[in-house]
Structure 1
Amino acid sequence: MGNTISGPDGQPRCSWCQAAPEFFDYHDNEWGFPVADDQRLFEKLCLESFQSGLSWRTILNKRENFREAFYGFDFTKMAEFSEADVERLLQNDGIIRHRGKIEAVINNARRAQDLVASEGSLAAYVWRYEAETPPPPQSASTSPESVAMSKDLKKRGWKFVGPTTVFAFMQAMGLVNDHAEGCISRKKAAQLRRSFTKPV
């Protein structure tokens, strides 16, 4: 298949795995499998925001540092961050020291609290945007659903949540099965999606 490569075990994987050795573990154990946990969903939205203009490898290699710096992406705790926390984070060379992105995710933590108060959970909100007819695997960088979710989040005051960022989030969190045709994880993702109970 054009969009697959042979993995370390000789089995086909999505071709993007070849960009870095650490991508295989992320691909095989996380990417594209459905998630209903609010904290994990919020973490991914934050990390996708930080990735804007950068490579995912850069973010993945710093992910544990991000988790430590942002209290495990507990948005209840992050919502309490002050200007002193922003300055602290700007001195942390283990993360991406970009004031605009740091301030955006702190803002988004507060907006996540608002969203949970109005919608019940972040998961219930996010999964309303699951695509009924997703584009062919790895053929798009946005979708009608990612455009709609991006627009609604921005209306709610979220930042750094453009349609491309939101679509990457949807791919990673299993709202769309974007594993390539022929990839060994495509079937696993499909099975997990079938047995997944959508949050309400």
Structure 2
Amino acid sequence: MSLARSKDIDIKAEAFASLYDRVCKRKGSEAMVRDLLSQPASRKQILDTPDDRFLAEFTKKVFQSGFVWRVVRQKWPNFEEVFFGFDINKILLMPDEMLEQKATNPAIIRNFNKVKTIRENAWMIDDIRRSHGSFANFVTQWPQDDLIGLWDYLRKKGARLGGNTGPYALRTLGVDTFLLSRDVEAYFVEHGLISGSARSKRSLNTIQNTFFDWQKESGLSLQELSQIVSFSCGDNYVGMVQ
């Protein structure tokens, strides 16, 4: 489907066309925008993701939250080794004493409160795999029209997976989701679509419904649309030659 502006497009679609035109102008061309956009994983790719990779990514994002991402990436092979490759069954067998001991290991980031989330999120995944067979089955079976409901489930049932932590983990794992990045939040505020907290139920519903409308109009994934919105405002660095 062409995203160029058309007289035959209705009012809502025209709003997205305007957004897309602005992004193309900011980045220099439509080709540049297309090159910058990344795609979510296929349903099959997500279904092939083992439970340990979900736990690993949740853990990585928990440790990256409020910390230097580069340091977490550098130490990540050590995390994999210390925590048995995030094998769910092995993690569940860890007693409190072992968790405390591992939290003092200088090979990882020594934060006991965050280390505890590894076992807590393993419990969540174990509960889900008992009812759905795997966490991947659970994610792919979640209603597509209630993405923020999935975010809320992770916030309530998981450990430290609220805010952007859970959604960023899902995105990294290939699940098609928009993100409430600083630029995306700024877009919705500046255009008068939301007021107050972007995390309020009303704001989240407005943002989700807007993305769903754009998805119907454009045929693009939520991941692509989220990136387009972020490219439309804020500092124009991504993809630009310095």
Gaps of 5+ in 1: 5-11, 15-26, 133-143, 182-200
Among 117, 133, 142, the residue aligned to 1:104? 117
Aligned length: 147
| Shift in CA distance, 102/124, structure 1 to aligned 2, threshold 3 Å | same
- Note the C-alpha offset of 1:148: 1.6
CA distance in 2, matches of 1:78, 1:119: 20
Give 1:18-97 correspondences, 5 Å limit.
32-33=40-41, 34-36=45-47, 37=49, 38-97=51-110
Greater Rg over alpha carbons, structure: 2
What's the counterpart of residue 167 of structure 1? 167
Native 8 Å contact 2:128 2:135 kept in 1? yes
Native 8 Å contact 1:41 1:122 kept in 2? yes
Q: Percent of aligned positions with the same letter in both sequences?
A: 25
| Shift in CA distance, 130/169, structure 1 to aligned 2, threshold 3 Å | farther
Task: Report the structure, 1 or 2, having the larger helix content.
Answer: 2
- Note the C-alpha offset of 1:102: 0.7
CA distance in 1, matches of 2:163, 2:132: 21
Native 8 Å contact 1:91 1:97 kept in 2? yes
What's the counterpart of residue 149 of structure 1? 150
Gaps of 5+ in 2: 1-23, 29-34, 177-220, 229-242
The one of the two structures with greater contact order (alpha-carbon pairs below 8 A, sep at least 6) is 1
RMSD: 2.8
Native 8 Å contact 2:62 2:114 kept in 1? yes
Determine helix, strand or coil for the equivalent of 1:45: helix
Native 8 Å contact 1:35 1:174 kept in 2? yes
Native 8 Å contact 2:92 2:122 kept in 1? yes
Determine helix, strand or coil for the equivalent of 1:97: coil
CA distance in 2, matches of 1:57, 1:39: 22
Moved over 4 A (4+): 1-4, 129-132
